[in-house]
Each structure stands twice: as C-alpha cells, then as structure tokens.
Amino acid sequence: MFQTYAVPYLATAIVFFGVDFIWLSTMTSRFYRSRMGEILLDQPNSVAAGLFYLVYVAGVVYLAVLPAVSGGSVVTALVGGAVLGLVAYGTYDMTNLATLKNWSLSLSLVDIAWGTFLTSLAATSGYFVTTWIAARSGG
C-alpha cells in the first residue's frame, strides 16, 4: 500500500512543489507582478496554495503516474502529465482571460506552458522514482 500510493505521491509532490517554488520565487517579480498588478497578493495564501498542491498532485498521480507505472511506460507519464497540465492550467488561465480585467493573453500562454511542462516533469519524475524503488525492493 505504501509503495503503491505514498511513494509516487511523495516523489511527484517533491518535484512539483520544489520546481514550482523555484519558478514562482524567480518569476513573480520578473513576470507575474507586472502583468497581474493589483490582483496579485503581496504574500500568497498558504492554506489555499497547500490545498491546491495536495489535491493537484493526487490528480497527477492518479491520472498520469499510476497508469504509467501499471503500463510500464514513461511515455504515459510524460504525455499524461502534459495533457493534465495543459487542461488544468488552460482552464484556469483561459477562464481568467475571459473574465478578468487586465489579464493578458501573454500571461495565459506563459502560465499554460509552465503548467504543462511542470506537470509533465513531475509525473515523469514520479514514475521514475516509483519504478526505481519498486525494482530495488523486488516488487
């Protein structure tokens, strides 16, 4: 049970959160703040962010990592993660583009590309770590 769910979840979460933290730490002041202006909080809402990461990573594991592990295909993790990232970040960004003042197309396109890349990277990493641990433990 631990290896089936906790290992892929933890591996995926560490990569997703770590890489996203680096991106947001560097790009908020360089890219997002100038495009989002007054709607961007000075400090993120940690509870809301934490809930997003918990739920989103569970979705990545369920929809991309576990099918890839089950099928023995890194391509499934890579593509499944990319599709999930494209759909999730695309939904968020295109809804904002359709409903918020001063939300730019460039902001949407960069954020969708980021979410697609990040989700694919995290799913692929989760796959590799899970299969590596399974091979080392004989299961």
User: Given this model, what pLDDT does residue 139 score?
Assistant: 60
User: Given this model, what pLDDT does residue 4 score?
Assistant: 82
User: Given this model, what pLDDT does residue 1 score?
Assistant: 60
Q: How does 47-72 read in b/e, with b if 16+ C-beta sit within 10 Å?
A: eeeeeeeeebbeebbebbbbbbbeee
Q: Where are the beta strands (DSSP E) in 1-139?
A: none
pLDDT tens, residue order, the chain (139 aa): 666 899 999 999 999 999 999 999 999 999 999 999 889 999 999 999 999 999 999 999 999 999 999 999 999 999 999 999 999 999 999 999 999 998 999 999 999 999 999 999 999 999 999 999 999 987 6
User: Given this model, what pLDDT does residue 137 score?
Assistant: 86
In the chain, what are the domain boundaries?
A: 2-137
- Cβ count within 10 A of residue 41: 9
Return d(Cα 127, Cα 78) in angstroms, integer.
9
User: Given this model, what pLDDT does residue 102 score?
Assistant: 87
User: Given this model, what pLDDT does residue 3 score?
Assistant: 66
Question: The pTM is what?
Answer: 0.94
Return d(Cα 8, Cα 125) in angstroms, integer.
9
